[in-house]
Structure 1
């Protein structure tokens, strides 16, 4: 696997730490900024909102740019946004910096994915995407708990400064390892737009959004659930979040090995597990030992689906992947936005923190419906000329 793939994973780790670390800092941030915990939770949704619109816009705007140039510009803006966020005293300025930082992070994801696909053979896509997305998993294991510890001891602003520094290191790595120049085949916007008209591609986006929402509905408030309902001391929250991250690393590693050959089977097992674990969390949220075990499984099943969710899009959009990959980033962030938003509504409505796991289970069931639909379409078209002429991954 080229070194550039691992550098892209490092960059995702740096930026993903920012995406995730607020889950362990909501209480501290709410107190410092003078807002409620659900309102602080909207900073997670703000980040997702920026990613939602950023991926397709920046994919189109930089379609003909050299990929290395685009990646470096995105990282530079991300760093500036975090410096401003660390310095601001106000909630709404911080909210804006979260949107801006996420906007370029989304662009980075989309371009990084297409860059990786161009650097490796088709039968290694799942492994490559598991390495890149694994940067987010490592952010869960190391970045999230480290950010929580830094925030608890030095203030949440110190965590933002740390993210800016990590991103600067990643920027140097991208400059050193990603090939310069434009792609050999210059992407064409018209062709990219024609690819976006494929119905099965949009069904894949639905699976991405719903399964991600199922995970984030619970994860977005995991720190608060642990302290307010389970009774875990705040000092132990980083350790429990690290347990989640270990599960996520195991899950994404397994998913990276199975998604190339069996994407739908990987999705079915992963989403089913996510749904069942969410139900179990809702029912046992007051029992610490059980919750810790379930948090591990939540990470494992939630992240096992990630490589399949990514590789399906490249197969269904073969030959014009840039905008399709960007739309998949947006689909991820529909889920990231909707999950915490629905969870915040339930908490504000007096249903308590366990209600977020019930919401996760409901979204998981809906995601299973899209997987079943995709399986039905694949079986129905198994004997057609289109199915015979497509690679095995088109069972998505």
Structure 2
């Protein structure tokens, strides 16, 4: 899906900005690629979209060959930890898979990965069924779906941009109100999904909130995995992919149980609620440990 940049490719205190740049590529593909694929499929059949993707990959490969360096500079030694607002990493020690896997013992990293997976599961629980939600529930005609996808993509790009501005220095100022707003937004979407003038703006808002919160959680996971400069990005990517699989599975089970397409939106709200509870419990436990020590 995506991967945070390798260590040394960007400054150690600019991971949030780098992650936002990477994810902005995904959001731009939602703005342009997904609607274009939908139009191509409607005009010339589903195979046309695959041929278009193959053609687009040609300049992408050339750009990768020209732009990506053959080697990544080693990180300069520093006593500062890789946390938001800190300086460069903990040294230029050679990578070791065994040592980097030990980072998974850190409760903060595990909690961050769990919350990121749940937040991404909430996003994909609805996004996987966005077309039937907007056509069968909100009443939009099928030819409106490219427009709906563009609206979602514009919101997603705005969210990623916001995360890039805040994730490195002030992540909690985005995560706390953003997480609460995300929960309220999914519940409001579920309640108002039957009204097109309500549903379409909420597609924009929820796209923005989902990617702002999700991108910030990715950044925090990368910072929390400072002991795993090589594998830390893969931990965040794995968490997102787990969420992308769990979310549609839960929503699909609800729809299959006869609860209707609106249940995908309630599934998103439930997943965000669980993520907030996990984060709150972990934070309370950390405060208690700090007080005892």
TM-score range, shorter chain: 0.7 to 0.9
In 2: Cα distance, 1:224 partner to 1:141 partner:
19
The answer to whether residue 209 in structure 2 is matched with residue 301 in structure 1 is: yes
Q: 1:321 aligns with which of 215, 229, 238?
A: 229
Question: Could you state the TM-score of these two structures normalised by the residue count of structure 2?
Answer: 0.87
Question: Does the 8 Å contact 2:182/2:210 carry over to 1?
Answer: yes
Q: Secondary structure at the match of 2:230?
A: helix
Question: Does the 8 Å contact 1:145/1:242 carry over to 2?
Answer: yes
The answer to whether residue 175 in structure 2 is matched with residue 257 in structure 1 is: no
Question: Does the 8 Å contact 1:251/1:304 carry over to 2?
Answer: yes
**Which residue is equivalent to 1:179?**
69
**Which residue is equivalent to 2:52?**
162
More helix by share: 1
Q: Alpha-carbon deviations, 1:84-140, whole Å to 9, x = none? A: xxxxxxxxxxxxxxxxxxxxxx5xx33xx232x422212221111101111111111
Q: Secondary structure at the match of 1:118?
A: coil
The answer to whether residue 117 in structure 2 is matched with residue 226 in structure 1 is: no
The answer to whether residue 227 in structure 2 is matched with residue 336 in structure 1 is: no
In 2: Cα distance, 1:118 partner to 1:381 partner:
34
Question: Does the 8 Å contact 1:281/1:291 carry over to 2?
Answer: yes
Q: 1:144 aligns with which of 28, 34, 45?
A: 34
* Structure 1 residues 237 and 342: alpha-carbon distance in aligned structure 2, compared to 1, 3 A threshold: same
Unmatched runs of 5 consecutive residues or more in structure 2: 75-91
Question: Could you state the TM-score of these two structures normalised by the residue count of structure 1?
Answer: 0.65
Q: Alpha-carbon deviations, 1:261-280, whole Å to 9, x = none? A: 12233222222222111111
The answer to whether residue 182 in structure 2 is matched with residue 268 in structure 1 is: no
Count of aligned residue pairs for this structure pair = 275
Question: Does the 8 Å contact 1:264/1:371 carry over to 2?
Answer: no
Q: Secondary structure at the match of 1:122?
A: coil
In 2: Cα distance, 1:205 partner to 1:320 partner:
14
* Structure 1 residues 160 and 325: alpha-carbon distance in aligned structure 2, compared to 1, 3 A threshold: same
In 2: Cα distance, 1:169 partner to 1:376 partner:
49
Unmatched runs of 5 consecutive residues or more in structure 1: 1-105, 386-396
The answer to whether residue 89 in structure 2 is matched with residue 199 in structure 1 is: no
In 2: Cα distance, 1:158 partner to 1:384 partner:
62
Alpha-carbon deviation of 1:378? 5.4
In 2: Cα distance, 1:283 partner to 1:136 partner:
29
Question: Does the 8 Å contact 1:196/1:324 carry over to 2?
Answer: no
Q: Alpha-carbon deviations, 1:158-193, whole Å to 9, x = none? A: 112222222232221111111113664542112111
The higher relative CO (CA closer than 8 Å, separation ≥ 6) is in 2
**Which residue is equivalent to 1:125?**
15
In 1: Cα distance, 2:243 partner to 2:61 partner:
28
In 2: Cα distance, 1:302 partner to 1:250 partner:
10
Question: Does the 8 Å contact 2:9/2:72 carry over to 1?
Answer: no
The two structures, once aligned, show a CA RMSD in angstroms of 2.0
Question: Does the 8 Å contact 2:120/2:214 carry over to 1?
Answer: no
In 2: Cα distance, 1:315 partner to 1:133 partner:
17
5 Å matches for 1:29-44? none
In 1: Cα distance, 2:38 partner to 2:118 partner:
27
The answer to whether residue 197 in structure 2 is matched with residue 289 in structure 1 is: yes
5 Å matches for 1:64-75? none
Alpha-carbon deviation of 1:383? 8.1
Question: Does the 8 Å contact 1:268/1:371 carry over to 2?
Answer: no
In 2: Cα distance, 1:325 partner to 1:272 partner:
26
Question: Does the 8 Å contact 1:211/1:367 carry over to 2?
Answer: yes
Q: Secondary structure at the match of 1:123?
A: coil
Question: Does the 8 Å contact 1:130/1:306 carry over to 2?
Answer: no
